[in-house]
Structure 1
Amino acid sequence: MRTTFTLLLTLLLSSTLWSQEIHTQSNAVSIDNESDATTGWTGGAVISSESTDVEHGSFSMLVSSTGQTNGRDASYTFNVTSGQVYSIKIWAKRAPQSYLPAFANWSGFSNFSERSILTTQWTEYSFELTANSNVAVIRAYTAPINRGAVSGDGILLDAVTITPLVDDSEAPSAITDLTASSTTSSSTALSWSASTDNIGVVDYEVFQNGSSIGLSGGATNFNVMNLSPATNYAFTAIALDAAGNSSLVSNTANVTTTTAADTQGPSAITDLTASATTSSSTTLSWSASTDNVGVVDYEVFQDGTSIGLSGGVTSFNVTNLSPATSYGFTAIAMDAAGNSSLVSNTANVTTTAAADTQAPSAITDLIASAITSNSAILSWSASTDNVGVVDYEVFQDGTSIGLSGGATSFNVTNLTPATSYAFTAIALDAAENTSLISNTANLTTTGETDSQAPTAITDLVAGSTTSSSTSLSWSASMDDVGVVDYEIFQDGISIGLSGGATSFNVTNLTPETSYSFTAVAMDGSGNISTISNSVNITTLEAPTGGATAYTTENANLPTVDWQSNNFIASGNVGIGTQVNPAYRLAVAGNIVAEEVRVALQGNWPDFVFETSYELPSLAAVEQHIKTNKHLMNIPSAHQVQQQGIALGDMDAKLLRKIEELTLYAIAQEKQIQQLKSQNEQLKELANKIEALELKLNTYPVER
């Protein structure tokens, strides 16, 4: 709903009080000359055409702050006559994001007073001012000077009129040279010289045999249609000004239409070209076509679909195009008899890419986790952007401490123990637009650094030893913060990390050789336990090739080959393999069974739900995945390829992951509920701030 800000008293003063529009530039806020443009408007703010929130016509103008100290204004400069009174009317409203916008700092007038833009509804703001200069400037501000600018604060403007108030009672001069040309059996073209007026001629009315047949729209020509063949007609015209004064009747142009119908079409356009192409528009132009009687208009096509008539001129402005898009334009010429030319050549156009002025969305869920005495991990959900977010900048107590490299997490280090910190972040896009500042993540570091090492491993054991491998296992070490990994040593030399698992498969050993293995535990601060107990093993003898045929006499020999079933036995049993297997049962092929039961010797992972269990942070899990390319306590693809998996052990490991995921889900649900509560509090606070701003609007604000 539109509301009127002031009474339009100037319209009620007198029937002779007349005004001529001098806001004539073609742009989004013009009334009679509207276009998808911001021509004539300049300033430090971002000024753009808007088509979704409009008071008049198809477009309005959005003025948005750039976030800079002087990036808040839009101005329009025009010529005036000193001492003349002018009526200026502007429709305006506050943008969805705004702070105390106003019309302020106008120049060229002696009696201007600042006017605040108070409402989010379209409202007409009216000024009646006396010029004290020959040049005047009107300005709109998105925010006061004494308030730090916020990027995106804005106002919407539309339907601007600037008119001098003049007492006009003088009629325009009469037309004296009205002539007719290009007469056919059904039409003729009238033309004349422009009339003069003390203020200005606004239109011409044309009469056929004394009866009005229309207005020329201000042009000094008029195409008369629907005439009868071989018939006499008398045409006259008068000039009109804006005050309703009309000239005397013109001379008479007498016309006799032809008897034969026009069947010849105009010549085809061969030089259709496009120029001044932007992200949303282009200008087409061509040479005039010829015709036996006369061309009256041109029709323009975009990708084969008609988009309008040129009104008889040899140019056409195309608007509302999409950025970075290809189009093909053609045109035809038409005469008064309805004959059309062949289709013109095609003018191919690719619009430019639109400038990116939209900032990413603000981060609203910045949180801190894995807090120690000197570090923490920040994380958040990804921001959105019309083009794309490229990075995030993190601030510690208001000072930038780095970029995340596009990741939605950031490791903060070098903090002081037992100290409070406040962290915020912003999102950035490739055009260097920045989001609003995120919520604040407050944290207090723990009292002291972690200097306590994990407990030593005391039960390192080896099992499943073959001629070239063995499997080590042990109980988990304890630590005041948490064990992150175990390092394994073979005869005192490191041979790898377990990835946090309490087992390690050793391969590439030499048959019939003795080895000694030890291990240490490590925490996230680099503290290392003392060395574990030693476990000594001797690898088995390497399997021998070949086998003897089975007989009752050699059935109990160490190696027996049942040739018909490829069965080998030597304490252990192998089926489908030609070597003595290193397992109690080895099968080269598939096994079908009604049930396989695995009796675990280790613990089933219900310990995950114990209060003493150290659940790894998601940041630690992410870091482990980035480093090792597999989950904590789960063997890698390489380990499985080399050593296989123990079904019972793997089921226990997978259940452990499921139980950890359950704990993460419970924690996340608590966090979601907490954020919902905080969001409701923020909404309530925003409503209070909005109410306070409305009260403040009643007081003068220095700009």
Structure 2
Amino acid sequence: MAVVYVDVIPPVKPTAKASTTAVTNKNVTVTATFSSDSKVKQYSLDNKNWKTYTGAVVMAKNGTVYFRAADAAGNYSQVTGYTVKNIDKTAPAKPTAKASTTATTDKSVTITANFSSDSKVKQYSLDNKNWKTYTGAVAMAKNGTVYFRAADAAGNYSQVTSYTVKNIIKAEPDKVAPKAGKVTATQKAQDSVLLTFNGFSDNKGIARYDILLNGKKIGSTTAKSFTYNGKNLAGNLQFVVRAYDAAGNAAKDAKAKVKIIDKTAPEKVTGLNVKGTATEKTATLTWNKPKDNVGVVSYEIQVSGVSKVFKSKTNSLVVKKLSAGTHTFTVYAIDKAKNKSVVSAKKSFTVLDGTAPKAGKVTATQTAQDSVLLTFNGFSDNKGIARYDILLNGKKIGSTTAKSFTYNGKNLAGNLQFAVRAYDAAGNAAKDAKAKVKIIDKTAPEKVTGLNVKGTATEKTATLTWNKPKDNVGVVSYEIQVSGVSKVFKSKTNSLVVKKLSAGTHTFTVYAIDKAKNKSVVSAKKSFTVLDGTAPKAGKVTATQKAQDSVLLTFNGFSDNKGIDHYDIWLNNKKVGTTNAKSFTYNGKNLAGNLQFVVRAYDAAGNAAKDAKAKVKIQAMAPQAKTLAFSGPEVAEAEYLAMPETPAATEYTAPQELSLADFSLPEPSLLTGSEALCADSCAASLDTTTENILDNKNKGMLA
């Protein structure tokens, strides 16, 4: 049977690419790429009417071209659309042009053009042939036409705009030079001079003034004044003003001199500081040298609390006999022309006193194992104590502004020599005040852990143990308290043997004690059990046969101070059972002869009493006959079987199940006649019949 494969998979969607994505005023071609299984290749301009694709599609205007493909089975691919939107064939708007004046003039006329916003290229021409880039107004020195055009990013050129200038009329040349006037030069600031012009005239009017300084042109103006801003001006300056008319005729030079006076104050003084430590004896004040155009020659210094104004030719000043406390100072800088800077920012400084504090007394008190409290009394100073430095054995260990200090050390021991040195704010130090203290061990051992009982605790002995705790100088003894015992036990090691504890549950706790008799906190309680060490007292055992394979053992006279926990029963040196009752029934199998039973009593501690023994002789118990009627093959008359009789000593609380072994047939040799004939042939029937009888018996149907 031929297998036909159906192709339902369409070709891959075509891809499309334009010849350019840049803005253009030309046609754009869109090329499609088709998969190899495309047997039909098509394009459409409306996604409805499809034409065969034979090559790139030319787009003369913006729009969307669609492509699709079909394979040999007629499966069409998805449609690919490509939108062309970069074709621009619209030229920019025609530029406009405007003249600076339309009135008659003998001067140049400037023509300004305005272009549309899409004008990327802006051009002008004086002959409508040779074009130049338009960057600003075109100056026409004579009558004529100027042309303007624009192009957009696609290269589309606008229509040409032209503007004809015809209002320029050249007059006769002016040959009359202006008449010179007067110039006044006035210094306005350190590096600024104002020139003012008066009395200059011309038949056609002054066109401009050129300004020269020391023979070099420094500027021009059409106004009647000019401000010259120089740099580091000094001495006498010679200015010249030369007037020109529009024809370029120049007046004679008008001159003016000015002497530059220093009007620039020094910069504000900064960097105020105090060198070293300011004391009542001397204080050295310093500051940075400020800048000045001609140089600083002196300083004025004002110090708070002093009415005098200090003067210095350098950037430092030594001031003597200032009062102790906080002061401020400010500085002015002064140059050669006596220009004075603005005042500096205030600088605050402290003048320390030169009087050392007076030493007092120190008391040293141990407050904890590694802690000593120092208290200070009687220290004084004219300006007050600034701080106390504390030294131990000559080494600084701390500072404080309080009148006490707590030193927390590590493993302190022996005699400690403390010294307290008082300082005032000026750094003046008092003599050392000393204090000794002898360190006493005040650290208690750590809490005892790891309490345990080694081995088994009995009434005879119990060995208690624990871990050795840490202590800064070492543990020397332990105190042990055991519940139920009023005595407090003591031990020099981390164990204790306790004797004659009563049986039962006890707890014990431990304290650790070091050389200084520091006592730890009490340990957590540890509970333990003291086992009974007294064996039970043996009693008597009576053994009574209750059935062929059943013996009843009864126990009397057994006793223990804590009570009997259980009895183990042995038969001929083999354990046959356990009970916590005062009797035990042994059910054996095929019991016969003399049986030797042993009963061993145990208390909860596992102590065993002496063995109590009992003998019993197993008696064969003959079954009591019962007759049952049955029939078998070739039996002429009903015969009877004897059933075993229940032993008289046995009491039944439920029907006793019987077995085939309880039934028997007469020996064949004792049978006669039809009995003998039945002996063998009836055996099978007997088995079946007996089973039925047993079943009824066990169901309670037979008495």
TM-score normalised by the chain length of structure 2: 0.32
Q: Which has the larger radius of gyration?
A: 2
TM-score normalised by the chain length of structure 1: 0.32
Which structure: greater strand fraction? Answer: 2
Which structure: greater helix fraction? Answer: 1
